[in-house]
A and B are shown apart, each in its own frame.
Chain A
């Protein structure tokens, strides 16, 4: 068991969390060290994953724990998102005058919860991981608890999240009742003959995940929660939670597919509604954070479309494999570009609780040329313009959809593909509006921007570079990751 990287990372995260709680607090004279400890912990966790190079396969604890490439990738992705967020969050909280060590401890626990969630097919363990992640996030959303918006954000997230958890528990209870086990392995045949009750379990399960992933019509909480939470935390929610949620769905949905032949139709309808509502909602926003919240809803729709291809293609075929690779790739790029966009926002946000309006970014080209360039990369990538990672990701999902157009579910796939295309065009409008504001408007009467520390700026530049690099060399990330693995292996 000690050869198991997952156990090491969980132990590291738990130890880091306790260390932050014990030694992370600052005093009147010196700033807290919570962020630094959390960052070191997350870097160690990332290097554990890289040393193992995302290879290896294992099971433990009676199948409650499952280690494979997908789970490692998702866990490393959420640790990376946690790292970027912690760097941003340390400075952001200091600027708002609300430094507190607990936030960093909660971040480590959220990352641990996500790892537990993606590395299992046992429903009880899945639930525990999901709750650990959610409970940590509820509190982080309301970290600035003197502000109305923050309290509203935390409370709304808590209420909808608790409701979603109840739905998930009911679904798990029904599945346990039908199969006599919490394991989904080998439950397919039993579930296939479950009848009406099985379909109800499936619907409850999808509704619970719909809440967590803010799929339409379960999305109403998202804009308010995203807006009220500290900006770096919003970035974490928009990236790591979606990454974890979709990876979990990718793992579980094929098993649940036995429950209903309508599953694909349900998911496709959800995907189209999510794309449309997300994009149309983003069009009318003037606050940048709210716009990005709707944009993340829209991207959840594209991701769901990719999940539909995985289900539509015959199980185990090359097409299904290709579609799940396309989904994973989209997720990775999605995490990178959203971390970048929210990072730039967090660095430009002034102290105080007035929201960052689109106009505040006016003339950023002259005032912060590098920052404007980074935001440009993020927006173009989110819109899916060539030479950015977002384009390659969207193109892969699109070709996967087109590839299935002649298959058994051809009509559905055609409809999905055309809505992806249509919604991408709508998306151009609001992403390019941000670019226009930064590059065309003068912004002479704009309020002064806060001072930007070196480390977060470096990180933003790195992320922008990665987003562009993936767009030019699509397998660049994999190559780079292997290079890092090789380097770390020489050290250990």
Chain B
């Protein structure tokens, strides 16, 4: 049961991500991405971490996707016939020639790898108190660095989007 659910969620997650890349209409890409995000939340549930799973749905599948869809709607120009032939045939062939063997090596290596067992997660793993405690004790430093990263993204977005530079 657990395995079946895992494969179900995992294939939707990867498939959605692939579709988001391959579809040509931006809105359909966004919708595929939502499917991928929700499936990812399912994987978090399977890993017994309900809190990240809920956040994944609320923030990614919810807030961030609404933002992305808004942006697509705003920028939607009427001429919007999706571009064709952006990728040259030669480039495509080259990419396939390089990526297929690489992917095969990677998948085979993961399949054959002798990965050590991770220690079992503690009982309260993935709950709000446990995560909060981890975030503000062990992981405090990365947590604060992460806030710098978000600040950089924000200042960068302002710089690129501001109407009038002073």
A109, B156: Cα distance in complex, Å: 10
Are A64 and B155 touching (Cβ within 8 A)? no
Are B112 and A135 touching (Cβ within 8 A)? no
Contacts of A64 in B (CB 8 A): 141-142
Beyond A113-B149, A128-B146, is A102–B141 a contact (Cβ under 8 Å)? no
Kindly supply a per-residue 1/0 record for chain B positions 145-158, scoring 1 wherever the CB is within 8 Å of any chain A CB and 0 otherwise: 11011011101111
Residue B123 CB within 8 A of the other chain = no
Closest Cβ–Cβ distance, residue A380 to chain B (whole Å): 37
Are B165 and A178 touching (Cβ within 8 A)? no
Beyond A100-B165, A132-B145, A139-B156, is A109–B151 a contact (Cβ under 8 Å)? yes
Are A128 and B155 touching (Cβ within 8 A)? no
Are A106 and B140 touching (Cβ within 8 A)? no
Are A139 and B155 touching (Cβ within 8 A)? yes
Decide if the interface of chain B is mainly helix, strand, loop or mixed. Answer: helix
Are A195 and B156 touching (Cβ within 8 A)? no
Closest Cβ–Cβ distance, residue B165 to chain A (whole Å): 4
A21, B159: Cα distance in complex, Å: 11
Beyond A101-B166, A132-B148, A196-B112, is A139–B157 a contact (Cβ under 8 Å)? yes
Are B146 and A102 touching (Cβ within 8 A)? no
Residue A197 CB within 8 A of the other chain = yes
A110, B155: Cα distance in complex, Å: 12
Residue among B105, B106, B140, B151 making CB contact with A17, cutoff 8 Å: B151
Residue A363 CB within 8 A of the other chain = no
Residue A200 CB within 8 A of the other chain = yes
- Residue tally, chain A, CB below 8 Å to B: 53
Q: Which residues in chain A, 126-156, are within 8 Å of chain B measured between CB atoms?
A: 128-129, 131-132, 135-136, 138-140, 142-143, 145, 154
Total contacts A to B, CB within 8 angstroms?
112
Residue A445 CB within 8 A of the other chain = no
Are A136 and B152 touching (Cβ within 8 A)? yes
Beyond A100-B166, A178-B115, is A139–B145 a contact (Cβ under 8 Å)? no
Residue A180 CB within 8 A of the other chain = yes
A25, B118: Cα distance in complex, Å: 51
Residue B79 CB within 8 A of the other chain = no
Would you list the 5 A-B pairs with minimal beta carbon distance, nearest first?
Answer: A139-B156, A102-B159, A61-B141, A197-B113, A109-B152
What are 30 A-B interface contacts by the 8 Å CB criterion? A14-B151, A32-B166, A65-B141, A98-B165, A102-B156, A102-B162, A106-B156, A109-B148, A109-B155, A112-B148, A113-B145, A124-B142, A128-B142, A128-B146, A128-B149, A132-B149, A135-B149, A135-B156, A136-B152, A138-B156, A139-B157, A139-B160, A140-B159, A154-B160, A178-B115, A178-B116, A190-B116, A196-B108, A197-B113, A200-B105
